Amino acid sequence: MMNRLILCILLVIISPWLLAKELILLHTNDFHGHIQQESKYAGAAKIAAFVKEIKAQHPAVLLLDAGDAISGTPVSSMFEGEPIFDVMNAMDYDVGLIGNHEFDHGYKKIERFRAIANHPLLTANALGPDGELLGDALRIAGFETSTAADGMSALTAIRNKKPDLLIIDINMPLMDGFEFIERIRSNGDNTPALMLSARGDRADITKGLTLGADDYVTKPFGLEELVLRIKAILRRSQFTVETATNLSSGPITLNSDTHQVTFNDEVVDLSPTEFRLLHVLLESKGRVLSKTYLLDEVWGITFESESTVVDTYISYLRKKLHRDGYEGIKTIRGVGFQLQPEKQ
């Protein structure tokens, strides 16, 4: 009897949804604490009035928030986002997502937001204060891992721990992933790096690779894919070549065993990506190589030809190797790049 009663109650609760001809989803995003109407922000009162009007006309309406509800106004910053969720309760939200700015006041604050909110707050691919979700998964896959909660902590960690690979989230507190990779590369740190981001825009991917990342993975992603990409980066960074140990062209010599490049017997410091690119050019000396070919051979991913990452790394090589009258790396307009062979 109890089972039948519960079943009936459930049917009464959900029957409007089942009978409705349409389900209307209303959502907000990037609210950023703007309770009052100002500039491009509608404000809580105007949004609530609009939602009330729609709900009066339709039996099945859900109000969702896509994240970044806090940070952006003095009241949000002063009280670490808590009043914003009180306001959202008054607006009768059904579901909210956790955006990157919900982490601005620390991971533990997320639990406080969940306690305040009358609606569930959902997330995926999120790390705890010690990065336990991704870190644990990678440990199970056989890797030794260490985590940092923000970009500034990561700078200290890589100096102390000397990792073999960096996994960098774009949306980090204190310093985003783009600034982080730019800073370590400018300091001469060539540790292989993989960037993670929900930003799948080609411009963001190109920016990450141009700044020095070795690969870029967009969320959501499968653990198997991530592990395969990590292994591929580590293989490329070790870069053992079974063919010729030494490759040369004019004043340039590349030794695959020692991972060393010299120019007229003077050692030239190259990043792992620069080394791989030079190796491909030397192996195909005299041939014109397209951007698509170089992206596949050097980065292991396929990009459209308008990506500028190849041009950027070619410019890096030229800055280091075009000297003393040598200008062997040529651009063949509309086709690709060529390492010119020595003149006989």
d(CA 326, CA 204): 34
- Average pLDDT over the chain reads 80
Local structure of residue 21 (DSSP, 8 states):
S
At 31 the three-state DSSP class reads coil
At 320 the three-state DSSP class reads helix
The pLDDT score that the predictor gives to residue 18 is: 47
The pLDDT score that the predictor gives to residue 19 is: 52
What H or E segment, with its residue span, contains residue 202?
Answer: helix 202-211
Residue labelled with tokens 């998964």: 137
d(CA 224, CA 201): 23
List C-alpha distances in Å: 118 to 87, 89, 97, 111, 195: 11, 6, 13, 13, 34
The pLDDT score that the predictor gives to residue 239 is: 54
Instruction: Judge contact between 145 and 138, C-beta under 8 A.
Output: yes
Give just the sign of the alpha carbon dihedral 155, 157, 162, 163: negative
d(CA 210, CA 218): 16
Q: Flag residues of the chain having pLDDT under 70.
A: 1-21, 107, 124-133, 136, 140, 199-200, 220, 238-245, 300-307, 343-344
The pLDDT score that the predictor gives to residue 202 is: 73
The pLDDT score that the predictor gives to residue 304 is: 53
- 217-234 per-position pLDDT tens digit: 877 677 777 888 888 888
- The set of residues, in sequence order, having a beta carbon less than 8 Å from that of 1 and lying 6+ positions away, is none
At 288 the three-state DSSP class reads strand
Local structure of residue 169 (DSSP, 8 states):
E
- Share of residues in the chain with pLDDT > 70 (%): 82
**Smallest Cα–Cα separation from 128: which of 165, 103, 153, 97?**
103
**Smallest Cα–Cα separation from 248: which of 224, 277, 283?**
283
Q: Give the distance from CA 29 to its chain's centroid.
A: 20
Structure tokens at 199: 């930003």
Instruction: Judge contact between 330 and 340, C-beta under 8 A.
Output: yes
d(CA 301, CA 170): 20
Q: Which domains does the chain have, with CATH numbers?
A: 13-122 (3.60.21.10), 132-238 (3.40.50.2300), 246-339 (1.10.10.10)
The pLDDT score that the predictor gives to residue 39 is: 80
First to last CA, the chain: 97
Instruction: Judge contact between 208 and 177, C-beta under 8 A.
Output: yes
Torsion (CA) 290, 296, 302, 307 in degrees, nearest 10: -50
Structure tokens at 172: 């980090």
